[in-house]
Amino acid sequence: MMTIDRRAQAGTAALVAGLVSVCTRSLYAQNEGQRKDGEEQYVEHTVIVGVGGAAEFELADGSLHPGANLMIEWDAIENWLEFEVEASMLSADHGTETPIGLTIKKPFHLARWAEFMVGLGPELVYVSGRTTQGTFFGGQVVLDFMFWPTQRFGLWVEPSYDLIVRDGLSHGLGTTGGLLIGW
């Protein structure tokens, strides 16, 4: 039963990714026609909101926790410093985990439509389950990739490494990603 559910989820995710790809390519083609010859400006935003999926792989026991993510990011110093506040809701051990993080990031432009950021910051994790309940503290290191096929809409993927103080130290690899709206 579990295998069928995971296959259905994977198929749904692939379908959504395909539709997003087709729509963003179409919008990108429309914007290319509006740009003047020789104009190569980076896509810049003051505030970005993202909504998408999240997953965390705990290195100690090999468990995988899927879920959803919501984030907001803003420029503190243009082209030098950005802040991101993000929250995820993950399924875990007959309950939920809710990591909330503040990440300080340094942006790098890879192309007019692509941006890469390196960041780190504190993280608070609220765990509610049958066997464990509590609030734990730690930190995270992230690599953030943003792709902007249009001025207003984009996609992101953000792999991370988390270190949480929870009955000793808990290590995890995670990722978030989804759709972006920028202003």
37-41, 58-62, 109-113: segment of lowest average pLDDT = 37-41
What average pLDDT does this structure show over 87-93? Answer: 93
More reliable by pLDDT, 51 or 14: 51
Given a cut of 70, whether residue 23 has pLDDT beyond it is: no
CATH match for 43-182 among 3.10.20.520, 2.60.40.10, 1.10.10.10, 2.40.160.20: 2.40.160.20
Q: What does DSSP say about strands 153-165 and 64-77: parallel, antiparallel, or unpaired? A: unpaired
Given a cut of 90, whether residue 130 has pLDDT beyond it is: no
pLDDT of residue 12: 53
pLDDT of residue 167: 82
What average pLDDT does this structure show over 64-77? Answer: 97
pLDDT digits (tens, 9 = 90+) for 155-174: 999 999 999 998 889 999 99
pTM: 0.77
Given a cut of 70, whether residue 35 has pLDDT beyond it is: no
Ordered DSSP codes for the chain: -HHHHHHHHHHHHHHHHHHHHHHHHHHHHHHHHHSPTT--PPP--SEEEEEEEEEEEETTT--EEEEEEEEEEEEEETTTEEEEEEEEEEEETTEEEEEEEEEEEEEEEEETTEEEEEEEEEEEEEEESSS-EEEEEEEEEEEEEEE-SSSSEEEEEEEEEEEEESSSEEEEEEEEEEEEEE-
Given a cut of 50, whether residue 88 has pLDDT beyond it is: yes
133, exposed or middle or buried, with CB in 10 Å at 0-12, 13-18, 19+? exposed
Amino acid at 33: G
pLDDT of residue 132: 83
pLDDT of residue 148: 97
